[in-house]
């Protein structure tokens, strides 16, 4: 079994608490309160700023040019594509980018992003990629599953554009590439002795992702 699948299967309860969270279900059927989505979206924009930093740190941690280019591509994808979706949606509700950036980070946001950055600072590229995996790969899984639901992509669903973004071929390819990268790094650097640590990193990052959804519901 690949490293990523082992990490996911060994932490499946935590993974499902994230990918099947009440917030996620509300996105699919359109019942999520708009104010909850707005709160999430603003915080996720701030979150992405820190994740772009994490990928920049990954460039420093890289051991070859291939890894450096992958981290650069991921950072550019966040800064030039993914954050654009957030701005478009926020502007449709009268929120400017300046107002979003001036918003304080919620404790759940701080806890998650700083955990990832701290893990990256202390560890190597594999530690960093495992800490990033729940976000990069999980959103792809969530988007693909939601897109299968009746009415999820219907224009009447206020969250259809969000679902389209993360169920798109482009994002699914990104998620698959991330799985492969973790598996490839695992073949180089993972050992039986190290697996327990990697599993803890994965489980904690996944738990913090679930907390991020919960934050959106706490209005």
**Catalytic residue numbers, as ranges:** 135, 209
What distance lies between CA 38 and its chain's CA centroid? 17
CB 190 within 8 Å of CB 1: no
The rounded distance, in Å, linking the Cα atoms of 149 and 48 is: 27
* Angle of CA points 181, 183, 55, to nearest 5°: 35
- Tell me which residue has tokens 């519901």: 217
First and final C-alpha spacing in the chain = 41
Q: In whole angstroms, how far apart are CA 57 and each of 62, 83, 123, 214? A: 9, 19, 11, 28
């Amino acid at each position: 079994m690949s490293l990523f699948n082992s990490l996911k299967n060994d932490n499946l309860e935590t993974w499902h608490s994230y990918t099947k969270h009440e917030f996620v279900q509300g996105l699919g059927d359109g019942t999520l309160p708009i104010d909850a989505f707005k709160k999430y979206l603003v915080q996720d924009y701030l979150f992405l700023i820190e994740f772009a930093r994490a990928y920049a740190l990954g460039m420093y941690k890289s051991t070859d040019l291939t890894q450096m280019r992958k981290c650069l591509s991921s950072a550019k994808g966040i800064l030039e594509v993914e954050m654009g979706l957030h701005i478009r949606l926020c502007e449709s509700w009268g929120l400017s980018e300046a107002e979003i950036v001036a918003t304080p980070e919620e404790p759940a946001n701080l806890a998650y992003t700083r955990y990832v950055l701290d893990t990256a600072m202390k560890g190597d590229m594999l530690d960093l990629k495992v800490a990033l995996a729940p976000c990069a790969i999980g959103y792809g899984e969530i988007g693909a599953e939601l897109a299968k639901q009746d009415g999820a992509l219907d224009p009447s669903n206020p969250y259809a554009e969000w679902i389209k973004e993360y169920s798109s071929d482009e994002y699914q390819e990104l998620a698959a590439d991330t799985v492969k990268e973790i598996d490839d790094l695992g073949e180089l650097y993972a050992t039986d002795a190290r697996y327990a640590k990697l599993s803890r990193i994965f489980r904690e990052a996944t738990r913090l992702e679930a907390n991020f959804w919960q934050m959106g519901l706490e209005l």
